[in-house]
Amino acid sequence: MAALAQLLYGHGANILDSDQHTDAGASMFFQRIHFDLDGLRTDPVSLERAIAEVAERFEMNWRVAYGAKRKRMAIFVSKYDHCLYDLLLRHRAGELQCEIPFIVSNHPDLEPVARQFGVDFHLHPITPDDKAEQEKAELERLAAGHIDLVVLARYMQILSGDFIGHYPGRIINIHHSFLPAFQGGKPYHQARERGVKLIGATAHYATTDLDEGPIIEQDVVRTSHRDTVADLVRKGRDIERTALGRAVRWHLDDRVLVYHNKTVVFE
């Protein structure tokens, strides 16, 4: 902490806030420093070179993200519109500091929503016979669009390991359950059968292990024995929206650090 603070001061960078966390069990230290460059007396290249020297001395993994460079985010959807609407409204309100070049879907149903917000919509219908071919086309579209983040906003497809491998730690999924409970399909039906008194939603990074990626955010809502599956779905949609919205915003703001299939989220 002292070495980095002294380095930034020496280069004329102004620290706006700093947050730290120590995981004693894993013997790991995490730090996020937010600083501006208005008074920088050198240049960003020299600054990064100096940070690299300190990082080597302390055996640190490090990354510098520049706030002026807005990330480019693609949204993948199927037929459910609640998470898509929420993300687009948050973006329009300025809550999500990013660009949304396009929306990808395996169904045509939500094209009118994309049109309503002036976002390009690309249809990639997927069948068991052409899944690999369609994923290749999607990856080519993401590469051509210089996409930094993929958000699965109730995209009802299981991504292949090859697809996920192109965007490690850069695919956020919303699962309609408080993981690790009720993994897989129809979690609200499972919750109704189990008679739980809380249901939840989980925003996590997608990995090759289905529904087991590093968790970014979770939320819950109380339920009742009177609730039908339809009631649980209605209640769940509210927390799906909020959990996904927060997770996406924190990722875009570079507040999430991943390690050991877990995350540190500097709120």
Catalytic residue among 148, 211, 219, 227: 211
DSSP states of 112-173: HHHHHTT-EEEE----TTTHHHHHHHHHHHHHHTT--EEEESS--SPPPHHHHHHSTT-EEE
Q: Give me the pLDDT at residue 182, please.
A: 67
**Stated pTM of the model:** 0.92
Give the 3-state secondary structure of residue 102.
Answer: strand
The residues near 31 (Cβ < 8 Å, ≥ 6 apart) are 1, 4, 18, 19, 20, 21
Q: Give me the pLDDT at residue 22, please.
A: 96
Tell me whether the CATH fold assigned to 2-58 matches the one assigned to 71-265: no
Q: Give me the pLDDT at residue 74, please.
A: 98
Q: Give me the pLDDT at residue 177, please.
A: 77
What's the burial of 229, exposed, middle or buried (CB within 10 Å: 0-12/13-18/19+)?
middle
Q: Give me the pLDDT at residue 128, please.
A: 85
d(CA 259, CA 254): 15
CATH number of this structure's domain 2-58: 3.30.70.260
Q: Give me the pLDDT at residue 179, please.
A: 66
Q: pLDDT tens, position by position, for the chain (267 residues)?
A: 999 999 999 999 999 999 999 999 999 999 999 999 999 999 999 999 999 999 999 999 999 999 889 999 999 999 999 999 999 999 999 999 999 999 999 999 999 999 999 999 999 999 888 999 999 999 999 999 999 999 999 999 999 999 999 999 999 999 987 766 667 667 777 778 788 888 889 999 999 988 889 999 999 989 888 888 888 888 889 999 999 999 999 999 999 999 999 999 998
CATH T-level assignment (fold) for domain 71-265:
Rossmann fold (3.40.50)
Domain ranges for the chain: 2-58, 71-265
Q: Give me the pLDDT at residue 98, please.
A: 97
Q: Are strands 171-175 and 198-205 parallel, antiparallel or unpaired?
A: antiparallel
Q: What is the largest CA-CA distance in the chain?
A: 65
211 is catalytic: yes
